[in-house]
């Protein structure tokens, strides 16, 4: 009887626990949905098959994953990266909602394993694999895990756009080529870029819907299908990424960029590639222009969503709200993932203990904007192995100023003086922007920024001061010349930077005013130091620092042009374009210094097939006179150096 009572009591307790659990389940489910702790809005909906396999392990699954994670950490410390890769893959299959393992797995591919390879192609494959793993799997399983967004943004900013990897130039080329074929060159105007992306985002959700709404697209698809079958029954038209990339290549060839025009690639492709000829026959018909645009917009939308986990509507919104993103630039993707992570994380990490995670994402985003200000104006030739052209885009100055104010308000009350983190960035960036705009001839833009700095940190600041309440020209002079007297080598850096920008923008973008201002800045600074009271100062060791500086500044045009001509990060065609636009005396300055490097680059370029090097890089008429002058300058330098050494020896005695 006693046993029966115990059994009844146990059964009643179990029943009460079951009922209580059922009553609590809706609240638990609702809370997990609000905190985005689940993969889908319904616990079992859309769960990947591997989750069911992991669930079969039962209660021991957590212990198994913990054990494997400990082993993974040990493998990482021991440098066993290939073994760690296999183990990380197993953990992500057992527990796909373990964000840190996805982050490690992707980092292991993109960083640890990639550097063990011997070719740029192998490295790029592994870097892409790491990015793809986190972007298309890790984030899909863990859509609100800020660690993954931060890591992904960092890889775009550091691994691809940074310079720490020996293959970084290869990464930049391949990345720009891929996104150029995928989306094409963006419209120049920011508002047009927004409309362009919005048109992609508004495309139909399904292919059947596209055909139903647009009979002309169905007609185009049928024509493509029949035309491709005509020469090979195995070849079929499929509305997928492969067709989109082929269309991108066709469109790029039709636009006839430099290398395609020189090598007559369009004609060659028609002669040697029947599929390309068929594609060209159909797509080049005038009546197919509009349906092709609709088809391409649809394909871009779904390739972005399915293959890159990127939302074109979000890309359009970010372009509208923050700045003129060029998606061929890695920093645009760094911003996208950092900002998306910050927005999603705001719903989960809205407490003081975790707010630093969002702050880190916000820092990555504004730093990406800064990088775009320095190199966001791009030119890409997808048929060249040249590096993409990357020039300064001053439109980002205003965009960064506006975003700083957003972040300042957002983090004003964050503990640890969170807003001050962005204030220091803002002051440094905008102060430099004043100098850059002034030297580029945009005095109005520079004055507007100076006035705003005065309101924020000068007369309108917490501690009122007159630092920014001065005429623009005086401010620029004080901000530069005072710094130059303290650290004269900064003058050399500024002159070289101004001239480099001047020559690149002046000759590649026809902004001659920028070049004229850079040359004037160089001349004025040389004169300043030449007449300085410190110009003849000589140290106890016999050094004459400012005299050496003036000598270097006087040859700054020569040095900068030589640097531009031999810089492999600048497309070869751009370097040759600049050279052939230079005045004769400047071509003479740089001809000998750059010839060997340019000749080697040219030999491996497709241009060598159609044009001799001496035609692309002709010897300037005044080269002999320049060589004689340079020899005389070298003799004078050696004479001064000998006199300096003798003077130094006498001082020591």
**CA dist., res. 370 & res. 368, Å (int):** 5
The pLDDT of residue 47: 40
399: Cβ–Cβ under 8 A, 6 or more apart, which residues?
A: 322, 323, 324, 369
The pLDDT of residue 487: 62
- CA 135, distance to chain mean position in Å, is 16
Sign of CA dihedral 356, 358, 362, 363: positive
**CA dist., res. 417 & res. 194, Å (int):** 35
**CA dist., res. 156 & res. 371, Å (int):** 12
Residue 579, pLDDT above cutoff 60: yes
pLDDT in tens, 213-235: 999 999 999 999 888 877 666 66
What is the residue-wise DSSP string for 344-408? HHTTT--STTTHHHHHHHHHHHHHHHHHHHHH-EEE--TT--SPPEEE--THHHHHHHHHHHHHH
* Pick from 32-46, 487-501, 575-589: least confident: 32-46
* Pick from 47-56, 350-359, 502-511: least confident: 47-56
Helix axes 420-439, 489-508, angle to 10 degrees: 60
**Whether the model pTM is above 0.75:** yes
Q: Which residue has the tokens 């626990």?
A: 17
Residue 626: pLDDT band with limits 50, 70, 90: confident
Residue 271, pLDDT above cutoff 80: yes
Residue 362, pLDDT above cutoff 50: yes
pLDDT in tens, 432-475: 899 888 877 788 999 999 999 999 999 988 889 998 999 998 88
**CA dist., res. 644 & res. 653, Å (int):** 14
What is the residue-wise DSSP string for 503-521? HHHHHHS--HHHHHHHHHH
Q: State the chain's mean pLDDT as an integer.
A: 82
Q: Which residue has the tokens 């169905």?
A: 218
Query: How many C-beta atoms surround the C-beta of residue 213 within 10 A?
Result: 11
**CA dist., res. 371 & res. 154, Å (int):** 13
pLDDT in tens, 89-124: 777 777 787 788 888 888 888 898 888 888 999 999
Tokens of 582: 């230079």
Longest dimension (CA), the chain: 120
The pLDDT of residue 357: 77
Segment 19-37 shows an average pLDDT of 51
Q: Which residue has the tokens 């140290």?
A: 539
């Amino acid at each position: 009887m006693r046993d029966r009572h115990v059994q009844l009591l146990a059964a009643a307790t179990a029943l009460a626990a079951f009922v209580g659990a059922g009553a609590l389940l809706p609240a638990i489910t609702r809370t997990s949905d609000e905190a985005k702790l689940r993969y889908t809005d319904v616990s079992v909906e859309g769960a990947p098959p591997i989750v069911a396999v992991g669930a079969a392990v039962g209660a021991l699954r957590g212990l198994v994953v913990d054990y494997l994670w400990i082993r993974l950490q040990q493998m990482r410390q021991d440098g066993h990266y290939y073994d760690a890769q296999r183990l990380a893959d197993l953990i992500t299959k057992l527990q796909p909602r373990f964000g840190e393992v996805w982050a490690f797995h992707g980092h292991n591919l993109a960083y640890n394993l990639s550097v063990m390879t011997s070719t740029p192609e192998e490295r790029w494959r592994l870097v892409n694999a790491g990015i793809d793993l986190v972007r298309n799997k890790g984030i899909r399983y863990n859509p609100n895990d800020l660690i993954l967004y931060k890591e992904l943004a960092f890889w775009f900013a550091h691994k691809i756009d940074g310079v720490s990897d020996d293959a970084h130039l290869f990464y930049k080329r391949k990345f720009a080529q891929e996104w150029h074929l995928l989306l094409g060159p963006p419209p120049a105007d920011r508002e047009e870029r927004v409309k362009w992306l919005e048109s992609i985002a508004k495309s139909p959700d399904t292919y059947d819907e596209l055909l139903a709404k647009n009979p002309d697209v169905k007609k185009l698809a049928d024509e493509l299908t029949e035309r491709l079958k005509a020469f090979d029954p195995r070849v079929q038209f499929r509305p997928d990424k492969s067709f989109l990339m082929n269309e991108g290549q066709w469109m790029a060839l039709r636009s006839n960029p430099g290398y395609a025009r020189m090598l007559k690639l369009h004609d060659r492709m028609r002669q040697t590639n029947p599929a390309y000829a068929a594609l060209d026959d159909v797509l080049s018909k005038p009546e197919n222009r509009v349906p092709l645009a609709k088809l391409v917009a649809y394909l871009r939308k779904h390739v972005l969503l399915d293959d890159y986990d990127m939302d074109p509507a979000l890309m359009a919104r970010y372009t509208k709200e923050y700045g003129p993103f060029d998606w061929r630039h890695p920093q645009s993707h760094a911003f996208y993932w950092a900002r998306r992570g910050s927005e999603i994380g705001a719903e989960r990490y809205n407490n003081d203990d975790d707010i630093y995670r969002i702050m880190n994402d916000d820092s990555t985003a504004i730093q990406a904007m800064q990088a775009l200000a320095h190199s966001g104006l791009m030119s890409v030739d997808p048929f060249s192995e040249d590096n993409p052209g990357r020039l300064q885009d001053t439109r980002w100055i205003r965009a960064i100023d506006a975003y700083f104010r957003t972040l300042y308000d957002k983090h004003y009350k964050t503990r640890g003086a969170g807003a001050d983190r962005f204030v220091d960035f803002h002051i440094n960036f905008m102060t430099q922007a004043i100098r850059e705009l002034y030297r580029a001839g945009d005095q109005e833009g520079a004055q507007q920024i100076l006035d705003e700095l005065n309101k924020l940190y000068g007369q309108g600041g917490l501690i009122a001061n007159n630092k920014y309440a001065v005429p623009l020209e005086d401010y620029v002079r004080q901000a530069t010349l005072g710094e130059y007297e303290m650290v004269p080598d900064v003058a050399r850096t500024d002159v070289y930077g101004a001239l480099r920008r001047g020559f690149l923008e002046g000759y590649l973008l026809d902004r001659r005013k920028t070049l004229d201002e850079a040359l004037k800045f160089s001349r004025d600074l040389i004169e300043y130091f030449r007449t300085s009271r410190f110009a003849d100062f000589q140290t106890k060791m016999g050094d004459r620092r400012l005299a050496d500086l003036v000598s270097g500044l006087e040859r700054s045009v020569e040095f900068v042009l030589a640097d531009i001509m031999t810089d492999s990060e600048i497309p070869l065609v751009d370097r040759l374009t600049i050279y052939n636009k230079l005045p004769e005396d400047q071509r003479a300055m740089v001809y000998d210094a750059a010839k060997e490097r340019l000749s080697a680059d040219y030999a491996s370029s497709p241009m060598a097939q159609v044009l001799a090097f001496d035609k692309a890089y002709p010897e300037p008429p005044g080269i002999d006179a320049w060589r004689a002058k340079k020899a005389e300058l070298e003799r004078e330098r050696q004479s001064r150096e000998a006199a300096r050494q003798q003077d130094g020896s006498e001082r020591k005695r």
